[in-house]
């Protein structure tokens, strides 16, 4: 039996993220093993930059729930992520989870090509900020097939389900979770990764900050990124990065350790740290 994992990144019980995920998950036509995780109830600590997770099959050594979450994602046949926009970006816990993907090349062996739906809910028109591009990073790093990156306006808890069009779309996503192709990006989205924000470069060039494809703007601000010199999501590129540059950087660190220690020593006496008194 297929496994589907719903990942809710909101403390709000029966809020929009939770209900939209439940609506999608209850429409999957075949019998599946359905599981949900409320990420905010778990402990996800900051990455310690030990680089252990880049070794093949090495689990993260931090004493928290990351290994539980990533193992559940690896085991699942499909992932559905739901989160609210908080202060112009996706909920911070989602970034905490995304930051733990230095071992992505090891995890993507299990997740590559598997369907993923992202739902992000927000309250006010034009307060979505950079949420779309940031929400795409996690499944892109895991090389998943993104069935949709769906933005839903719903300020009040559960309001997203008052709109019949939202219910229809949630049901469509559930019905087509395993049948669907990658979603069709909008005319002003990056055709490679779906990001909707671009960096302006000299010589009238633009760059997608998420996949790094370069191009130009056509009339009416339509991005033309049809012939990029590079895209970090091209097949093999993420593996080159994580198994190449990242591994080499760890080796370089070992070779330069003593010289770096000498630099660090110069700042040891500047001990200005404070913490709250318990």
Ligand X SMILES: Cc1cc2nc3c(=O)[nH]c(=O)nc-3n(C[C@H](O)[C@H](O)[C@H](O)COP(=O)(O)O)c2cc1C
- Is 154 one of the binding residues for ligand X (CB under 6 A)? yes
87 interacts with ligand X by CB under 6 A: yes
In terms of C-beta distances under 8 Å and separation of at least 24 residues, what long-range contacts does 122-126 make, across chains too?
A: 122/84, 122/85, 122/151, 122/152, 122/153, 122/154, 123/85, 123/153, 123/154, 123/155, 124/153, 124/155, 125/153
Contact 46, 99 (CB under 8 A): yes
Q: Which of 4, 6, 7, 15 binds ligand X (CB under 6 A)?
A: 15
Q: Which stretch binds ligand X (CB under 6 A): 13-21, 95-103, 164-172, 174-182?
A: 13-21
Contact with ligand X (CB under 6 A) among 58, 88, 222, 260: 88
**CB nearer ligand X, residue 81 or residue 154:** 154
85 binds ligand X (CB under 6 A): yes
Query: Under the criterion CB under 6 A, does residue 86 sit at the interface with ligand X?
Result: yes
The smaller minimum CB distance to ligand X, of residues 81 and 211, is found at 81
Does residue 166 interact with ligand X by CB under 6 A? Answer: no
Q: Which residues pair with 79 in a beta bridge?
A: 5, 116
- Binding segment for ligand X (CB under 6 A), chosen from 49-57, 122-130, 182-190, 208-216, is 122-130
**Given 4, 5, 7, 17, the residue binding ligand X (CB under 6 A):** 17
Q: Judged by CB, which is closer to ligand X: 144, or 152?
A: 152
- Sign of the CA dihedral running 263, 264, 269, 270: positive
Neighbour count for residue 137 (Cβ, 10 Å): 18
The residue from 29, 33, 68, 127 that contacts ligand X (CB under 6 A) is: 127
In angstroms, rounded to a whole number, what is the distance separating the alpha carbons of residues 145 and 180? Answer: 9
User: Does position 121 bind ligand X by CB under 6 A?
Assistant: yes
Q: Which of 32, 47, 72, 123 binds ligand X (CB under 6 A)?
A: 123
**Nearest CB to ligand X, comparing residues 41 and 248:** 41
Nearer to ligand X by C-beta: 9 or 206?
9
Q: Which residues of 227-254 are buried (b: 16+ CB within 10 A; e: fewer)?
A: ebeebbbeeeebeeebeeebeeeeeeee
Short-list 40, 39, 12, 36, CA closest to 22: 36
As measured in angstroms, the least distance from the Cβ of 28 to ligand X is 21
Pick the closer one to ligand X by CB: 157 or 228. 157
Cα(263)–Cα(114) distance, integer angstroms: 45
b/e map 27-45, b = 16+ CB within 10 Å:
bbeeebebeebbbbeeebe
- State which of residues 4, 10, 81, 191 lies at the interface with ligand X (CB under 6 A): 10
124 touching ligand X, by CB under 6 A: yes
What does the alpha-carbon distance between residue 175 and residue 190 come to, in Å, rounded to a whole number? 27
Residues near ligand X (CB under 6 A): 10, 12, 15-17, 84-88, 121-124, 127-129, 154-155, 157
């Amino acid at each position: 039996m297929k496994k589907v994992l719903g990942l809710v990144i909101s403390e709000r019980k029966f809020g929009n993220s939770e209900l939209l995920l439940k609506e999608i998950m209850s429409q999957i036509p075949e019998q599946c093993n359905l599981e949900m995780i409320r990420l905010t109830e778990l402990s996800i600590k900051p990455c310690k930059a030990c680089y252990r997770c880049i070794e093949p099959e090495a689990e993260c050594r931090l004493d928290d729930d990351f290994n539980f979450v990533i193992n559940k994602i690896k085991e699942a046949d499909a992932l559905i992520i739901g989160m609210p926009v908080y202060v112009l970006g996706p909920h911070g816990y989602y970034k905490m989870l995304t930051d733990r993907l230095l071992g992505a090349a090891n995890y993507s062996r299990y997740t590559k090509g598997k369907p993923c739906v992202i739902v992000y809910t927000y309250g006010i028109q034009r307060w979505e900020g950079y949420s779309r591009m940031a929400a795409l990073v996690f499944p892109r790093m895991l090389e998943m097939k993104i069935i949709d990156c769906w933005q839903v306006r719903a300020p009040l808890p559960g309001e997203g389900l008052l709109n019949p069009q939202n219910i229809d779309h949630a049901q469509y996503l559930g019905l087509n979770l395993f049948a669907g192709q990658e979603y069709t990006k909008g005319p002003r989205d990056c055709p490679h990764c779906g990001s909707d924000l671009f960096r302006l470069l000299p010589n009238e060039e633009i760059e997608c900050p998420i996949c790094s494809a370069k191009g130009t703007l056509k009339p009416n601000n339509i991005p033309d990124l049809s012939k990029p010199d590079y895209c970090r999501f091209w097949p093999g590129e993420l593996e080159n990065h994580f198994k190449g540059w990242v591994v080499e950087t760890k080796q370089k660190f070992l070779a330069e350790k003593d010289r770096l220690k000498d630099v660090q020593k110069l700042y040891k006496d500047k001990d200005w740290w404070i913490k709250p008194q318990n």
